[in-house]
Chains A and B, each alone.
Chain A
Amino acid sequence: MSNSKLNILTKGFFKENPTLILVLGCCPTLAVTTSVTNALGMGAATTFVLLMSNMLISALKNVIPDKVRIPSYIVIIATFVSMIDLLIQGFLPSLSASLGVFIPLIVVNCIVLGRAEAFANKNTVFDSLLDGLGMGIGFTIALTLIGAIREILGSGSIMGFQFIPAEYHILIFVLAPGAFLVFGFVMAAVRFIVNKNEEKKKQKAAKRCIKPLPV
């Protein structure tokens, strides 16, 4: 895999993380991160939809007329969302019960439509596949990170495995306010780290530029 292809895949992980940097798809991030299991399930479902819709939209980009492209994208995305919804209902009923209305709501997740509009309708099928996969993994990383913090603090367990006794649980973290607080602090921390890295790179680049210039 060449460097540019690898870059398409990995840019969604941290540098352009859809949730923590671009602030897209906040509703599922807040709602389903009460436990790591839920977060992973939601991440996997969204990654599937992103991957499939990105591929199909990129394959059809010359067929769909420009004027009706948004409704067409919505129909394509909704088809894949219905598929994954029925699959989860059939094979993982407990996950379906805990994610509830948020599985059909992947349709209006801004990440999916955003990638279709910003990436898939301009690039090749393979590039769109990598982009969808990368963004999906980035979304899953963010969800799992927030889910892990909330589950450890709020119910003293990870993936359902309990290791902190019940009297030390901080209940607020599995309730609604905890979602906002943890999301806010995680986003601040990630932005701080990413900004610092960018600054370092800039300084290095600046040093390299200054040397050959005859002053």
Chain B
Amino acid sequence: MEYILMIIGAVLVNNIILVQFLGICPFLGVSSKVNTALGMGAAVTFVMALATLVTSLLQKYVLVPLDITFLQTIVFILVIASLVQMVEIMLKKVSPSLYRALGVFLPLITTNCAVLGVAINVTQQTIIPGHGFSVIDNTLYAVAIAIGFTLAITIFAGLREQLELVEIPKGMKGVPIALITAGILAMAFMGFANLV
């Protein structure tokens, strides 16, 4: 039950894009088509789960015992950057079809603040009250957050496809109207507040 609550909280109530404002760049950059948005969502889910697993392990068994948590930012960003490279190389060898589907998005994820943001966030808060720092909980939480990311970016891509057909004032074209659309979408997501 507590896991179901945690997942609902991470996907809807604390949606990473519309409530926490992480990962706005891919949200605005690769959301012009629903298919691309789904591809980006899949790539982010994969990397975010893996990155949170590795960084949580590092935090628990290296940074805290050696008392060097002030190196957290440097260590985490290096781990994420090299992880993305590694995943890209491995996917190319193991599953060329998946690589073709995700390939374009993988390098973009290195500078996606959502991945680093979640990795840092889970070290600062307990995911499920009473469990303490648990690597498994953290990874599940990362997957749930990434599902929320995919949900938001896919809905938004659907809206933008419709927006293509509408006549818009000159200064509003492109990013400004997208931001206002996102604002209205965020209002809709506010309805989920206090759900959990």
Contacts and interface: CB of A to CB of B under 8 A. Distances in A.
Interface of A: 23-24, 26-27, 30-31, 70-71, 74-75, 78-79, 81-82, 85-86, 101, 104-105, 107-110, 113, 172, 175-181, 183-185, 187-189, 191-192, 195
A176 B22 CA distance: 12
Interface string B99-129: 0000000000001110011001100100000
Nearest to B114: A27
B18 interface: yes
A195 B173 CA distance: 12
B9 to A, nearest CB: 16
Nearest to A188: B176
B78 A105 contact: no
Given A180-B183, A184-B180, A107 B124 contact: no
Nearest to A184: B179
A27 B72 contact: no
Contact of B111 (A30, A31, A108, A172): A108
The 9 closest A-B pairs by CB, nearest first: A180-B183, A184-B179, A192-B171, A188-B176, A31-B21, A181-B183, A184-B180, A26-B24, A177-B186
Contacts of A105: 22, 113, 116-117, 120
Classify the secondary structure of A's interface with B: helix
B57 interface: no
Interface of B: 18-25, 28, 70-74, 77-78, 81-82, 111-113, 116-117, 120-121, 124, 169-172, 175-180, 182-184, 186-187, 189-190
For B73, B120, B124, the residue with the greatest tally of chain A CB atoms inside 10 Å of its CB is B73
Contacts of A71: 78, 81-82
A82 B77 CA distance: 12
Given A27-B24, A31-B21, A192-B171, A82 B74 contact: yes
A82 B71 contact: yes
A87 B77 CA distance: 20
A27 B171 contact: no
A180 B74 contact: no
Given A27-B22, A189-B171, 10 more contacts: A30-B21, A70-B81, A81-B73, A82-B70, A107-B116, A110-B111, A176-B189, A181-B183, A187-B175, A187-B176
B177 A191 contact: no
